[in-house]
């Protein structure tokens, strides 16, 4: 079981014999640690060359947790996906309009 707010764990779960190990991992405070977290979270993303994770890690506030970085990464991924879908849709509409205009022009010639 993993939680990012150990103060919210039910005390009954903390009784002896319930959990094997209770390990608290603090917030990554330095930019190098944040960079490692961001790299782990985005390892399966296809990042473009203009994405500079060290700069993003430096701009994260000191209180940013791993969950915050996960939210940042997933929101960025979703925004990029929406932008790509919108561009593909726009290109498809343009191609369909071009094809339709070509069909209309061809039918007028015959």
The pTM of the whole model exceeds 0.85:
no
How confident is the prediction along the chain (110 residues), in pLDDT tens digits per residue? 566 677 788 888 888 888 777 777 778 889 999 999 999 999 998 888 999 999 999 999 988 888 899 999 999 999 988 988 888 777 777 777 777 766 665 655 55
Going from N- to C-terminal start, the domains of the chain cover 28-109
DSSP character for 11? G
Task: With beta carbons less than 8 A apart as the criterion, state whether 23 and 32 touch.
Answer: no
- Pairwise CA distance, residues 98 & 11, whole Å: 66
CATH class of the domain whose range is 28-109: mainly alpha
Cα dihedral sign for 2, 75, 84, 55? negative
Model pLDDT, residue 62: 87
């Amino acid at each position: 079981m993993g939680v990012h707010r150990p103060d919210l764990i039910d005390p009954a779960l903390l009784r002896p014999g319930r959990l094997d190990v209770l390990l608290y991992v603090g917030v990554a405070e330095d930019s190098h640690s944040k960079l490692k977290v961001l790299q782990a979270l985005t390892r399966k993303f296809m990042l473009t060359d203009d994405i500079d994770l060290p700069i993003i890690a430096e701009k994260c506030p000191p209180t940013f947790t791993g969950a915050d970085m996960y939210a940042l990464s997933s929101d960025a991924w979703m925004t990029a996906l929406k932008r790509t879908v919108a561009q593909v849709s726009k290109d498809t509409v343009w191609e369909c309009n071009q094809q339709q205009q070509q069909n209309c022009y061809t039918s007028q010639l015959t």
